[in-house]
Amino acid sequence: MKRFLLPLTLFVSLQTVAATEPADTETLLEIYEYCFTMQDPSQVDETALLTCINEELQFGDFTTFKTLAEVKAALGL
């Protein structure tokens, strides 16, 4: 039974990961602005900003980014 459930679970997990797609520019910009406003304006913590952006993207079932530079490039900033 375990030999059946493990591959089945792995297959379903991979299908879920494959179903995520990149957020459109408008959605990504809204998330970026929201997360930016959650930061202290005098000093922006880029790690916390990226974490916030990725958490919001995961909630919307979108693909995440590895760096803040990738986010800015996707937004054209």
Q: What per-residue confidence (pLDDT) applies to 29? A: 93
Residues 6+ apart with CB under 8 A from 44: 36
pTM of the full structure = 0.71
**Predicted local distance difference test score (pLDDT) of residue 54:** 94
Check residue 1 and report its DSSP letter. -
Q: Which token pair is 52?
A: 């916030």
Give me the mean pLDDT over the 3-9 stretch.
63
Q: How far is Cα 30 from Cα 72, in angstroms, rounded to an integer?
A: 13
End-to-end CA distance of the chain: 52
Residue 5 — very low, low, confident or very high, per pLDDT cuts 50/70/90?
A: low
pLDDT tens-digit map of 20-64: 788 889 999 999 999 999 888 788 889 999 999 999 999 888 999
